[in-house]
Structure 1
């Protein structure tokens, strides 16, 4: 005999309006929506298959996967819905039960919405015929709630424990698909970075040879110095290899932030031209990936166009961790900067944006003056833990 699931609407929708709005507008959640790209209008067969299964298994006239931002809900897939909202593939939040699944991060079980003091005033009741509703949260690979997988009936309905379990199983399938896609996307970015890095190796080696030949008097001294630099460059380059596996499996080593910077910058170190000063901070394996990519890109630009491309150039890195963020100041002096040093819309700029903003939820600001070139990287500590 099927066990009924008690409708617990009050606990899911009783959050005050201010808190409810804050949760919908949470920057990490909105970033996760953007990174997973689930609100794009492209038809997605995995989502379509899941909603068809949901309607068939639960014998519900309507099923939806609804992703919710701060202003609207978007139907990534739908089955059984008709009318203008079906054609528009979404509604404003005035017509949304799914928003409460998002802000509560728990299933919403509604036998008859017309009897509920809050939901009865929602425009979805009249305009979409939403009387009975069963919704389960859909999470991003990083854990944020993206939306709701729901089934709807136009008449009152007692939802069973088996109904809820079936919907949760379908959500688990969908979340696994999102995780696989993110992993594939991250590996593609890493492969592009590998290609980008290999192209840069030729420029870096050429720059090293040009600088080193002005510093040494004998061929042996020159050769020894260049060999040491190329060996260091090889070590820094190899850091990306275990990153591919760590991204795929979720495993990997934590790293001391300062030691990580030292390894990445080792190919460019010459006497006292580079200084590193900062707090002892440990970061997680996936954060290591993206910090490595970002710092390597900045160092490459400095070696090709900036302070590390001239004898008198200096690079000073200083970082400080407070309760919320790690702030890294990257200061180059001793050189005159050109437009090339500022970067453009190429893959290097894209890589910095993906690494710092997309994956670490951080910011990168740049300032150029006559006598210095400064980057400030601000990284939330909670993102550096993963």
Structure 2
């Protein structure tokens, strides 16, 4: 982690692997458009974990792209029209797919290359100050990296809630297993492309 000139901890981790990730995402044709299979996976992930919001998220050097997205019908993220997920998700087609890299917790998962479980984000000073807390009201997060067969963390799958969630070990095992399942699907698809 680094500090800004005023001495505050910067919330978004430095991502030295971003150029390799971008190259790999391009090779796989991922991260530029939504796909019904990823939306279906996000819907199933939300159902399995019992959350209102879930994503299949690919991350480049500047932004996050929700290739798969589940939100409750008729619900828009956040109440602020000026930024955050409210602005990112509200789009011309009703649901946008992009979010700044400094919003949310998935960039941490990608850099750490392991799952992150935050039952109450406010319990962690490093994560409580993230823009998604104040702008959107996110209180709980659970995500796992999508580790490609070449060793590149392509992105994440994640679930979030506006309420505190006791994820526990069962939640951690579920998110990790579902990330592995999605990577198997991506690997099979790549095998068909070769």
TM-score w.r.t. the length of structure 1 is 0.41
CA distance in 1 between partners of 2:136 and 2:181 (Å):
27
Alignment match of 1:76 (pick from 63, 67, 72): 67
Deviation string 1:314-336 (CA, Å, 9 cap, x unpaired) is: xxxxxxxxxxxxxxxxxxxxxxx
Q: Which has the higher mean CA deviation after the structures are superposed, 103-112 or 176-185?
A: 176-185
Larger radius of gyration: 1
- Give the SS at the match of 2:176: helix
Matches within 5 A, 1:218-367: none
For 1:173, the equivalent position in structure 2 comes to: 181
SS in 2 for 1:35: helix
CA distance in 2, matches of 1:92, 1:71: 7
Which runs of 5 or more structure 1 residues have no equivalent in the other structure?
1-14, 187-386
Give the distance between the partners of 2:154 and 2:109, measured in 1 at CA: 10
Other-structure match for 2:193: 185
- Which residue does the alignment assign to 1:21? 14
Separation in 2 of the partners of 1:135 and 1:70?
A: 19
8 Å CA contact 1:50, 1:170 repeated in 2: no
Cα deviations by residue, 1:199-253 (Å, 9 ceiling, x for unpaired): xxxxxxxxxxxxxxxxxxxxxxxxxxxxxxxxxxxxxxxxxxxxxxxxxxxxxxx
Change over 3 Å in CA distance of 1:142–1:65 after alignment to 2:
same
Residue 48 of structure 2 is matched in structure 1 by 57
Answer whether contact 1:62 1:80 (CA < 8 A) is retained.
yes
Cα offsets for 1:137-186 (capped at 9, x unmatched)? 01223220011101111111211222222222221221011111211212
Q: Classify the secondary structure of the residue corresponding to 2:39.
A: helix
Q: 1:29 is paired with a residue of what secondary structure?
A: helix
Where 1:88 maps in the other structure, the secondary structure is coil
Is 1:102 aligned to 2:94, yes or no? no
CA distance in 1, matches of 2:53, 2:164: 14
Shift of 1:123: 0.7
Q: Is the Cα–Cα contact under 8 Å of residues 29 and 145 in structure 1 kept in the other structure?
A: yes
1:124 to 132, 153, 157: 132
Residues 1:33 and 2:25 are matched in the alignment: yes
2:46–2:52: 8 Å Cα contact kept in structure 1?
Answer: yes
Q: Contact conserved, 1:102 with 1:148, CA < 8 A, in 2?
A: yes
Q: Which runs of 5+ in 2 are unaligned?
A: 4-9, 77-85, 90-94
Larger RCO of the pair (alpha carbons < 8 Å, separation 6+): 2
CA RMSD of aligned residues (A): 2.1
Contact 1:20 1:103 in 2 (8 A): yes
For 1:160, the equivalent position in structure 2 comes to: 168
- Could you say if the C-alpha distance between residues 47 and 73 of structure 1 is closer, same or farther in structure 2, counting changes exceeding 3 Å? same
Matched, 1:48 2:39: yes
The equivalent of 1:111 in structure 2 is: 119
Residue equivalent to 1:233: none
* TM-score (structure 2 length as normaliser): 0.79
Provide closer, same or farther for how the CA distance between residues 24 and 117 of structure 1 changes in structure 2, counting only shifts above 3 A: farther
Deviations 1:321-368 (A, max 9, x none): xxxxxxxxxxxxxxxxxxxxxxxxxxxxxxxxxxxxxxxxxxxxxxxx
Number of aligned residue pairs = 170
- The Cα shift of 1:104 comes to 0.2
Measure the CA separation in 1 of the matches of 2:43 and 2:173: 16
